[in-house]
Amino acid sequence: MTSQEAQIIWSDTLDDRWLVKVIRIDDHAGTLVIQDCGKVIHEESVGLSYGAIFGPDTDDVVSWQDKAVKVIDAL
């Protein structure tokens, strides 16, 4: 894995429990990862608007948050 592939584009903690992050996999795509106590409970591919060159696009972050909340609420 190259350093670019391992780049965390965005991360947050929901409800002081769930670690949610987006990891770059190429110039225009990433993987949304949700963890509970260090265990991955969900992964899915997501897009990176404008390649997230200077950080994540605001609309992307809102989309990732919505996805994470839906996954967590379904548990």
The yes-or-no verdict on residue 2 having pLDDT over 80 is no
Which range marks the domain in which residue 19 is found?
Answer: 8-73
The yes-or-no verdict on residue 29 having pLDDT over 90 is yes
Mean pLDDT confidence for 13-41: 96
Q: Give the chain's domain count.
A: 1
Question: Quick check: is 2 in a domain?
Answer: no
pLDDT at 1: 46
CA distances 12 to 1, 2, 3, 69, Å, are 23, 23, 21, 12
Instruction: Return the residue matching tokens 């609420």.
Output: 73
pLDDT at 43: 98
Question: Quick check: is 67 in a domain?
Answer: yes
Q: Give this prediction's pTM.
A: 0.89
d(Cα 38, Cα 7) in Å, to the nearest integer? 18
